[in-house]
Structure 1
Amino acid sequence: MSIFREYIGVKPSSKVLRNFPTEIINSDINEFHFILGFASEEYDNSNKGTGVFKESWNVDYFGPDDVRTMKEKYANVKVVISIGGRDSKTPFDPLTGLEEWSKKAVESLKRIIGKYKSSSGDNTIDGIDINYQYIHGSESDRRFANYLGRVITELKYNTDLRINVVSIAPSPNNDTHYLNLYSANKDDINWVDYKFYNNPYVISSSDEFVNLYNEAEKAYCPEKVLPGLSTDPADDKMSWEIFIGGCKLLKKKSKLPGIFIWNANDSAIPVPGENKGFLLEILLQRLLVQTN
């Protein structure tokens, strides 16, 4: 099993990314996931989350028709909606209690997912990704685990939605919150997109990266942890060379179920010396499918 995941739509649209970059999909990858970001909450004047979610990606570029057309052409593609946000303006900080917040969250997310039904009535959204970077409240109060756990179960077991992929996206600075969520819902969480690029210090070698990966897989599950790298220039905690080298070491030990990249909006811009974007995505997919 090999899985490759690409976050997309998480930044304002660029001139070089106006559709799903289907040309980068490796047909030998078992599953290629495009993760749409974000379905983010509406907030009150004190920046408390109301539980009412709306899509923030550019629907003109990544709308229902685009998803349907892509999935008809590429059998290994799944599309996932990322819930939350990456900056301090989109924290997990509920305005209301569990019952009211989760009811609004589930209802609003169902509306978003429902927009992506095919002409036959089938849903073209395959899953959800829990991806709050800023989480307010103590690690011991378990609000994050309780609130998001309710959302996961309500959506995954809704027979009309047919959600079959659930992932979470922890970082070193919010790991305990996500571990609480995972522990309470481990049978319903398929993948852990671990954000090594959000490490508090620079990862200086491939061996150091592998050690951090080993710690993450022990905390969660060896078969579920996907290491991630960012192509955002602002994320400078690990170089491409160190990440690729570490993935090669993990691949040799049969410890690399997949990889994810943050994010397509930045990857579409060619790196210096190249005339095409998505170089990293192409290289890493080749690594995943090659035999040891």
Structure 2
Amino acid sequence: MGVFREYVGAQWAAVQLSDVPVISGVALFHLILAFAVDYTRDSPPQPFWDEGHHTPAEVVLGVGGATVGGVDTYFSPADEDSWVSNAVDSLSGIIDTYQLDGIDIDYEQFNGDEALFARCIGRLLTELKARYPALVTSIAPYKDTEGYYQALWSSYQEVIDYVNYQFYANPASTRVEQYMEEYGRVAGSVFAGGSVLASINTSNPADVVTVDAYTALQACAQLAGNLTGIFVWSADSSYYNNLDFWYEGQAQQILAVGTN
């Protein structure tokens, strides 16, 4: 089934969850709230988003993120067992309080090796899945963080439902055919057997070096029959850049046609 996902709330925009359009024909629709962040090395993750409501969507909590208020955030546990215990308890509380449907792991900077990251996140997802069997789980790697997430995938892929791969983090000069080749590499080799989503970034190219959104959309259209789904970063950018959520609508149309 095709899934459409979008990150919401990471850039302090006045966007509400209900602003993101939902097109009939998409099998699953997920809004990812950005982010629950570790503020200290062993403190429990805290919620960091603007509240809202969107009835047709399943709501997923993003964990990690690159920055908060321009300050880098790191995966940096002082002790593996205490980090896992704190994270499980805190995230369980957030899931219960907000009746959330899933968790998305998006750490991008690390004080620790790949093996430690794999164990901590793998144990976290395993325990959350045991507590909440219907919980939807995902990871959000890109090329620079691939090693960490591949280590996690190799040992814990059974508790990871989706791979939100940040293909837009490749060079701005990326062409449609290069995007498609990279999707084939990631889906066929790096995270083989996983549900790998294509991705579109609606940020202003003057502000962020990213694959052009229209190039990514064209690649998604050509990959349509082979796609598990598409995610967009982000509703905030679409709102700020006055795009009227056009890319969100087009991506959902691709999925609706591709899965019918």
What TM-score, normalized to structure 2? 0.91
**Runs of 4+ with >4 A deviation:** none
Structure with a larger share of its residues in helix: 2
Cα deviation, residue 229, structure 1: 1.6
Q: 2-side partners of 1:237 and 1:53: how far apart?
A: 29
Q: 1-side partners of 2:166 and 2:173: how far apart?
A: 12
Cα deviation, residue 223, structure 1: 5.0
**Looking at both structures, which has the greater relative contact order when contacts are Cα pairs under 8 Å and sequence separation is at least 6?**
2
Equivalent position of 1:172 in the other structure? 143
Amino acid at match of 1:20: L
2:97 corresponds to 1:115: yes
Cα deviation, residue 204, structure 1: 2.5
2:135 corresponds to 1:152: no
Confirm or deny: 8 A CA contact 1:81 1:129 kept in the other structure. yes
Question: Which structure has the greater CA radius of gyration?
Answer: 1
Confirm or deny: 8 A CA contact 2:45 2:87 kept in the other structure. yes
| Structure 2: segments with no counterpart, 5+ residues | none
Equivalent position of 1:235 in the other structure? 208
Amino acid at match of 1:81: L
Equivalent position of 1:46 in the other structure? none
Confirm or deny: 8 A CA contact 1:79 1:127 kept in the other structure. yes
What is the RMSD of the two structures over their aligned residues, measured on CA atoms?
1.8
Q: 1-side partners of 2:108 and 2:194: how far apart?
A: 23
| Structure 1 residues 1-292: aligned runs within 5 Å | 1-14=1-14, 17=15, 19-21=16-18, 24-43=21-40, 49-58=41-50, 61-62=51-52, 66=53, 70-71=54-55, 74=56, 77-87=57-67, 89-94=72-77, 96-116=78-98, 124-139=99-114, 142-158=115-131, 161-199=132-170, 201-217=171-187, 218-221=189-192, 224-233=195-204, 234-251=207-224, 254-271=225-242, 277-291=244-258
1:78-135 Cα distance to aligned partner (Å, 9 max, x none) = 11101111136211111x211111111111111111212xxxxxxx311100111112
What TM-score, normalized to structure 1? 0.81
- Residues 23 and 41 from structure 1, CA distance in 2 versus in 1: closer, same or farther, beyond 3 angstroms? closer
Question: How many pairs does the alignment contain?
Answer: 253
Among the aligned pairs, what percent are the same residue?
30
Confirm or deny: 8 A CA contact 2:95 2:101 kept in the other structure. no
